[in-house]
Amino acid sequence: MKKIFLTILLCLLAINLSHSQSKYSGKIEAGFLKFGLTTVQVDPGPDWQGYNLDEEQNGLDLNFVNGFKFGNRFYAGAGVGYLNFEGINGFAIFSDFEYLFANSRLTPLINLRIGYNQIYNQYENGNGSGLGEVGLGLNYKISEQYSLYWKSGILVSQQSLIFPIRMGFRF
């Protein structure tokens, strides 16, 4: 009984400490998605209608991320996004992790994004795909609560390698 009580007490203490060191933070960002190359080669069958991004379309995205800032440097959140690849619309849902290298006004950042997206292309009901993205960028702290950032990296999704360039506002 003492072990159970002690375990519950330690868990409550850990939750309280982690909550007191974290605070809500949100991000809104817009980006340009430069098509790089197709990552899969398909031997076409009779029902094949082309690659998911069959004309090697560039895209635009708009994302909103809700999460928590832990300390002054680490951010973790979940987001939703709207995608448009030159007329092919879609959406994305993802987890977002970001680390700032320093607590200064201007600092480098590294970002990791893992999730799922769905585009409505030439196939009936469109195509869904996992997504993985890693990026580097710069964060400019306006105040303790607000910052602007720019980042770029590599995104793998929809049988394609894509180079995103994003600008965002963290609040």
Sign of the four-CA dihedral 13, 18, 23, 29 = negative
**pLDDT for the residue numbered 139:** 98
Report how far residue 59's alpha carbon sits from residue 100's, in angstroms, rounded to the nearest whole number.
27
pLDDT in tens, 91-127: 999 999 999 999 999 999 999 999 999 999 988 899 9
- pLDDT at 19 > cutoff 90: no
**pLDDT for the residue numbered 14:** 55
| Neighbouring-strand partners of residue 149 | 139, 168
The total number of residues shown for the chain amounts to 171
Distance of CA 50 to the CA centre of its chain: 27
**pLDDT for the residue numbered 45:** 84
Distance of CA 169 to the CA centre of its chain: 14
pLDDT (average), residues 128-155: 97
Would you place residue 140 in the very low, low, confident or very high pLDDT band (cuts 50, 70, 90)? Answer: very high
pTM of the entire predicted model:
0.83
pLDDT in tens, 40-89: 888 888 888 888 898 899 999 999 999 999 998 999 999 999 999 999 99
